Amino acid sequence: MCHRSGGLIQHQIEAAGIATVGITVIPHLTWGGGAPRAAYLRFPMGNPLGEPFEAAFQRQIVREALGVLATAEVPRTIVLLPYRWRRKPEDR
């Protein structure tokens, strides 16, 4: 899904009274789309939750992203999560 579209969808959900948080790998596009809250990961496009088949790690990322709901104090908050992509592109 497009990062900007995600922000637009978040706005509609928030208008219905439901708090949202997105996960982004391109924060400037997420910011430009006006997403209310987002968790930013330094991962490549197409891998916002990390490596395939790493369910425990992916759940950890989702839990931390949901934590942004509790910690974001101002609109359009983007929080950098402390993970880095370690796999080399040629290892794919």
Instruction: Please give the pLDDT value at position 91.
Output: 54
Residue 65 located in a structural domain: yes
pLDDT tens digits for range 71-80: 998 989 999 9
Residue 35 lies in a domain: yes
User: What does the alpha-carbon distance between residue 52 and residue 37 come to, in Å, rounded to a whole number?
Assistant: 25
- Residue 65's pLDDT is 96
Residue 24's domain spans which residues?
3-82
Note whether residue 60 is domain-resident. Answer: yes
Residue 91 domain flag: no
Whether the CA torsion 70, 74, 46, 17 is positive or negative: it is: positive
90 falls within a domain: no
Q: Is residue 13 part of a domain?
A: yes
**Number of domains, the chain:** 1
Mean pLDDT of 60-78: 94
Give the pLDDT score at 2.
Answer: 73
pLDDT per residue over 21-37, tens digit each?
A: 999 999 999 888 888 99
